[in-house]
Amino acid sequence: MANMHNTALITGASSGIGLELAKLHAEKGGDLVLVARSADKLEQLAEQLRNEHKVQVTVLPADLSEQNAAEHIFNQTQQLGIEVDTLINNAGFGGHGKFAERALHADQAMMQVNMNALVELTHYFTQGMIRRKQGKILNVSSTASFIPGPLQAVYYATKAFVTSFSQAISQELAEHNITVTALCPGPVATEFASAGDLDGVEVFNNARSARSVAECGYNAMHRGDLLAFNEAGLKFLLNWVIPFLPRKLVLKLSRQSMEKTA
């Protein structure tokens, strides 16, 4: 396959924010490499985008909780001759409950997907971007990255890692004309809540649409913004209110926001 033009690789592309980001990129005429566990869902989406937007779409099913998944994805793109101009690390999941009572393997898989696979994919695909002196990276983080999260301790910590990592490499890669953006949404109406056992957590009652969050992140990435918040109120709260509150109060409020009401 010849090198694609303006190709975006998107992880977690079969649903939620990732699916909407794929649609957005295709609507603007960009080619795609779609990554997720569900081959069937990816093939359906690929067929839809090819038909509607006349773009090239490559499907690479993969489970990012497996240790060598990122390397395997990169090798496949190399074999197909695909240059990835835009990397969108969207795949990730959460999990509710007290840390000591949760299955350790579930949290280990979460760390593998949310942090390790993201770092590995970024490392592999950044090399080509540096050679070509251009590229864009969008890492889907969360407003959860700015505070500790009792009842979602590991998830919040993984997102703190993503936001910190994204900002650090953004500074390093700027000299190569590569931008890195961390998208930090509040609650989003996706399968994330049910998959992470978050049904009944009140903050998800006011969740924003996946499309609106995808548009926020996609546009911020193309502007080269460092951080992207989809809600101005949350941005103000995290930057100008929470830093001035006593730490124990922040932890108490954070836990209350994750308590189940149903």
Instruction: Please give the positions annotated as active site.
Output: 155
Report strand pairing: 188-189 vs 208-209: parallel
For 52, 106, 158, 253, 260, the CA distances from 101, given in Å and listed in that order, are 47, 11, 19, 21, 16
Environment class of 63 (CB within 10 Å of its CB; exposed 0-12, middle 13-18, buried 19+): middle
Question: Rounded distance, CA 209 to CA 212, Å?
Answer: 5
For 44, 61, 114, 214, the CA distances from 211, given in Å and listed in that order, are 19, 23, 21, 5
Environment class of 40 (CB within 10 Å of its CB; exposed 0-12, middle 13-18, buried 19+): exposed
The answer to whether the beta carbons of residues 12 and 38 sit under 8 Å apart is: no
Kindly report the CA angle at 55 between 50 and 61, in degrees rounded to 5? 65
Token pair 């590229």 in the structure block, residue? 135
